[in-house]
Amino acid sequence: MKSLPSSWLAAVVVSALAMGTFNAEPASYNAAAEAEPGTIGAKPAAYQARPGEGRVRRVPRVELGSAYDCAAMGATRILNAGLTQVTGDLAITPGDEVVGFPPGEVRDGGIYIDDPEARETKADAIEAYEDAAGRAANGVMSPELGGKTISPGVYESTDGSFRINGTLTLDAQGDLDALFIFQADSTLNTARVSNIDLVNGAQADNVIWQVGDDATLGTYSTFRGTVLARNSVKVSYGAAIYGRTMALDEALTFEGTEILPATRVTVPQNPPTTTTLTSAPNPSRMGQPVTFTAKVDGNVQGFGPTGMVLFMEGATILGEAYADRTGIATFTTSSLSRGVHEIRAVYVNGGTAVFEAWVEFAPSESPVVAQQVLNRR
C-alpha cells in the first residue's frame, strides 16, 4: 500500500476532550507487590548492549510489513455510524461490506475491499499477530492496567484479559527502540475516558496489543498502540486511537460522534526531529563541572520541538532538562569519574504548542559524545 504523505498536522492535533489524564503520579509497577506468578523488573531479560554505542537495546520490534500504513482492518464487515476519521488505509478481506463511509472519512489513505492490497495487508497483520503471540513473556500481571507505570517488556495477564481504567503509563526509560507487547488470550477493554500515556521516549509504533478474542476501546478513551485482535474490534464514541485497529476474523465497528471532534484512528506519523550533543570542556578533570548541550531540531509551520531531553550513559539517566523554544537543553555535572564516558542526549517529547494545535514531535537521540575525564590537577 502507498506510504502516508507528509501532511500529518491534522492527525497529530490532540483533542483536549480526549486527553484527560488520571492518576497524575501512578505508582511504578512492582511485581513483588502482587502475589502472582512471574516477575516484572525494570530491565527485561532481552537487554543487549549495542557494541560501541554505549546504549541498551531490547527485543526486536514486531514488523507489520504492508500493514504498517493500515489504520483500520476488518474481516467480515466494517461498520460506522456518525463522524469517524480514519487517517491511513482502511482494508477488509475476505468480506466486502463497508458501511458508513461516508459520513466516515478516510484521510491520507485508501479503502481496499477484498483486493490484492487488502489480502497482502491481512497476511502481514496475521504474521505480526503470531509473532507477538509467540514471544516469551517476561512479566505476568493482574488484568487491570490503569494506575500502573510499566517498563518495556512482554506481558501476559493472570486471567487472559487486560483492561484499562484510568491512566496506563508506558515508560521507555530513554530507549527509543523500547518494545511493549501485551498478550491477552481473551479480551481487551478500556474504560470511558481512560488514557495511555507514553513517556521517556515510548512510541505508539512500538506498543502491540495481541488479543485472542475481542477488543473494545471505550467512550472518549485515548489509546495508543496497534490492536491485533483475533475476532472483533469496537471503537466507541469519541475515542481517539493513535495506532491501528485490526480485527482479523470478524467485524470492525466504529461509533462515530454527532459533532466534532470525531471518533478517530490515526496511524502514528509524528513530525521528525534530530538531536545533537556537545560538551565543554572536553577533556575535563575529576570534580570539574562539565556542561552538555543538546540541540533538538524539527519544524512545524515555523515552530520547533520543545519538551524533555534525557542525558544518558548507557541505560543510566544522568540528568534531564527541558528543551526551550530554540530547541536547546543543557545539563551540568561535576560527578563524572576518571575515564571516558559515552554520553548521548535523547529527546523524549512532551508536546509542543503550534498555534491552537498540540503537536507531538517524534523522539530522537544524538550520536554519542566521548567525554574524557582526567585525574585532578
Q: Are residues 258 and 278 in the same domain?
A: no
Name the DSSP letter for residue 18. Answer: G
pLDDT at position 354 is 86
- Per the domain annotation, does 8 fall within a domain? no
pLDDT at position 377 is 61
In the predicted model, what is the mean pLDDT of the chain?
87
* 147-163 mean pLDDT: 97
Residue 363, pLDDT > 80, answer: yes
Query: Which residues constitute the domain of residue 167?
Result: 23-266
Residue 53, pLDDT > 90, answer: no
Q: Are residues 70 and 196 in the same domain?
A: yes
- Per the domain annotation, does 14 fall within a domain? no
Residue 13, pLDDT > 80, answer: no
pLDDT at position 356 is 79
Residue 28, pLDDT > 60, answer: no
pLDDT at position 357 is 82
The total number of structural domains that make up the chain? 2
Choose between 56 and 39: higher pLDDT.
Answer: 56
Residue-wise pLDDT for 205-239, tens only, equals 999 999 999 999 999 999 999 999 999 999 999 99
CA–CA separation, 117 and 111 (whole Å): 10
Q: Are residues 227 and 320 in the same domain?
A: no
- Of the three residues 205, 235, 266, the one that is the final residue of a domain is 266
- Of the three residues 225, 246, 266, the one that is the final residue of a domain is 266
Q: Are residues 49 and 158 in the same domain?
A: yes
Residue % of the chain over a pLDDT of 90 = 80
CA–CA separation, 18 and 99 (whole Å): 25
Residue 335, pLDDT > 90, answer: yes
Q: Are residues 158 and 226 in the same domain?
A: yes
pTM, full prediction: 0.84
- Per the domain annotation, does 4 fall within a domain? no
- Per the domain annotation, does 12 fall within a domain? no
Distant-in-sequence, close-in-space partners of 252: CB < 8 Å, separation ≥ 6 = 72, 73, 74, 77, 78, 79, 92, 232, 233, 234, 235, 245, 246
- Of the three residues 218, 238, 266, the one that is the final residue of a domain is 266
- Per the domain annotation, does 5 fall within a domain? no
